[in-house]
Structure 1
C-alpha cells in the first residue's frame, strides 16, 4: 500500500505474478462486497473470519520476533469479542422495528459492555495461567502474555468497531460499509497516483521509503472528493458528517499502513502472510482499518 515506486523486490515480479494479483484481487473484492451487500449475517461471518486471520498473522510475526503469544487463546477471544458483539447488535437493533425496539437497543448496548469488560478482566488472567503452565519452556512469560493481549487490542477490537459503523443508523446498513471502503480505497489510490507523479518529500523513510507528503496530500484530496460524492449513496448522511469521515480516513489510514510497516520491519518480515497470493496477508490489506475504525466509532458514539 505504498504511494510511490514499489520496492526493488517487487520489480522482479513477472507477468505470472501480476496475473495472480489481478485474479486474487478481483476474487477478494467480489467476496468482500458480496458478503457486505448480501445480508448482515454474511457480513458478520466474513469479517469475523477476516479479523481472526489478521490476528493469526500478527501472532505469526510476533513469533518471528522471538515472542510466543498464546495464538489459539487470542483467536478464540477475538471470535468471542466480534461474534458476541455482532450477535447482540443484530438481536437488539437488527430486527423488525416494534414498540419495544428501543428497550432491545438498550439491552444490547448493556450486554455488549458486560461482554467487553468481562474479556478485559478474564483474558489477562487466562493468558498468565497459560504462561505459568508453559514456564520455564517459554521465556519472557509476561512479554508473551502482553503480546497476546495487545494483538486483541491492535487487531480484533478495531475490527469489532466496524460493527459500530455498520449499525450506526440503528440497523445494519451495507451502504455505510461500502462508503467506508470507497473512502479507504480513494485514500490509497490517490496517494499512490500523486506520490508516483509528484512525490519528492519523504514522510517517514525509515519505515516506508515510498510514502511522500505529496502522495498523502493527493490521497487526502481524493478522499474528500469521494466523501462529497457519497451523497448519492448516503443521502441521509449530512455533508459535514461525510467530510469529517473522509478526513478521518485521509489522516488515519496512512498511519495504519505505517504502523504495520513498522511492525514488519521490526520483526524482519516482508509480508504479514500469504492469505492472498500476490498481495501478502489480510493484515497487509486491512491495516488502514486498524486506526481508522476506533476514531470513526468514537465520533459515531459521540454524535
Structure 2
C-alpha cells in the first residue's frame, strides 16, 4: 500500500450571479424623468431658478458644440465662447426682467412688452428718445460683437501657428454663439408676460415641442413611408412630420386649460411655429453631427445623448417666436 496522500481537490464555490443593470429603455426612462423634473421644477419655482437653469443648459450645449467642432479639426476658443454666451444670456435676462420690474426707469409703461427699446414706448416718451434708446441698444450689441471679434483675433495671433486655421477657429467660436447662446437667450422673452415672469408660457412651449416629437414618432412608426430628408436623417418621414404637426396643433388648442388668458389664435400660431421649425432644428443638428462624424452631441444623459440633442428643436423655434413677439409689440 502506498503512503502517498491523494492531492487536495479545490472546493468550488458558487459565485453569486451579477445582477443585470437597467436596460437601455429603463435608462432612458430614468434619465428622462430626472431631467424633466429638474427642468419643470426650475421653471416653476421662480424666475431666478429658471434663469440659472437655462444659463447652465446653454453653457453645456456650447461645450458640446465646440467639442464637435474640434472633432472636425477646428480649434474654437471654447472658454471665451462660453464666457461670451453667459454674458449674452445674462444681458437678455437682465434687460427683460429688469424692464418688467422697473419700467419707470426707462420711461415705459408697466408690462408694455419684453422689447422695451423697440416697442415699449409710452405716449409721453418723445419719438427722439425712442429712436435714441433703440439705436443705443443696437449699437451696444454691435460694440460687444466687434470687441469679441478683436479678442478672438488677438488669441489666434498669440497662438499662431499652433492653432492651425485661425479664421476657421474664430468662425467656429462665433457660430456657437449664434447657433446656441442667442436662441437659448430668447427663452427669457418667452417667459415674460404682461404681468412679469409666467412659468406657464415656458411650460406651454415645452409641451408643444414634446407633442411635436411624440406625434412625429408615433405617426412615423405607424404610417411612415416617404423619407423627409434621407441623406440627413433616414428615419424621418413626411407622414411622421404630419402627425407631429397635427398633435402640436391639438396641444395648442388644449393649452387653454392651463393658459385661458392667451387667445386661441396666439396659441395656434405658436403651435404652427413649433410644428414647422422644431423638426427643421432637429434636422440641422443631425446635419451638423453627420458633417463632423459623431453620433451624439454628448453623453450627459445615457440613452438620450447630450443636451444639444435634447434642445435642438428650440434653437430654430425660439428666434422665430422672438421675431413674432417683436412684430406684434
Same fold by TM (over 0.5)?
A: yes
Indicate if the aligned counterparts of 1:208 and 1:261 stay in contact, CA closer than 8 A: yes
The residue that corresponds to 1:203 in the other structure is 228
Q: Which segments of 5 or more consecutive residues in structure 1 lack a partner in the other structure?
A: 1-13
Within a 5 Å distance, the mapping from 1:1-303 to structure 2 comes to 15-94=22-101, 102=109, 109=117, 110=133, 113=138, 115-303=140-328
Distance (Å, rounded) in 1 between the aligned partners of 2:273 and 2:106:
36
1:232 and 1:261, CA in 2 relative to 1: closer, same or farther beyond 3 A? same
Distance (Å, rounded) in 2 between the aligned partners of 1:74 and 1:99:
31
Distance (Å, rounded) in 1 between the aligned partners of 2:196 and 2:248:
26
1:234 and 1:258, CA in 2 relative to 1: closer, same or farther beyond 3 A? same
TM-superposed deviation, 1:270: 0.4
Q: Which moved more, 1:257-266 or 1:110-119?
A: 110-119
Distance (Å, rounded) in 2 between the aligned partners of 1:103 and 1:239:
24
Q: Which moved more, 1:150-159 or 1:274-283?
A: 274-283
The residue that corresponds to 2:125 in the other structure is none
Question: C-alpha deviations, 1:48-99, integer Å up to 9, x for none?
Answer: 0001100110000000000000000000000000012212222221469999
TM-superposed deviation, 1:121: 1.8
1:228 and 1:98, CA in 2 relative to 1: closer, same or farther beyond 3 A? farther
Distance (Å, rounded) in 2 between the aligned partners of 1:219 and 1:17:
25
Q: Match of 1:276, SS?
A: coil
RMSD over aligned Cα, in angstroms? 2.2
Q: Match of 1:209, SS?
A: strand
1:115 and 1:38, CA in 2 relative to 1: closer, same or farther beyond 3 A? farther
Indicate if the aligned counterparts of 1:85 and 1:112 stay in contact, CA closer than 8 A: no
Distance (Å, rounded) in 1 between the aligned partners of 2:33 and 2:111:
39
Distance (Å, rounded) in 2 between the aligned partners of 1:102 and 1:248:
29
TM-superposed deviation, 1:277: 2.1
Q: Match of 1:155, SS?
A: helix
TM-superposed deviation, 1:100: 6.5
The normalised TM-score by structure 1 is 0.90
1:202 and 1:264, CA in 2 relative to 1: closer, same or farther beyond 3 A? same
Distance (Å, rounded) in 2 between the aligned partners of 1:244 and 1:104:
22
TM-superposed deviation, 1:113: 4.4
1:231 and 1:213, CA in 2 relative to 1: closer, same or farther beyond 3 A? same
Question: C-alpha deviations, 1:168-197, integer Å up to 9, x for none?
Answer: 435111100000000000000000000000
Q: Which moved more, 1:180-189 or 1:127-136?
A: 127-136
Instruction: Give 1 or 2: higher helix fraction.
Output: 1
- The higher-RCO structure (CA 8 Å, 6+ apart) is 1
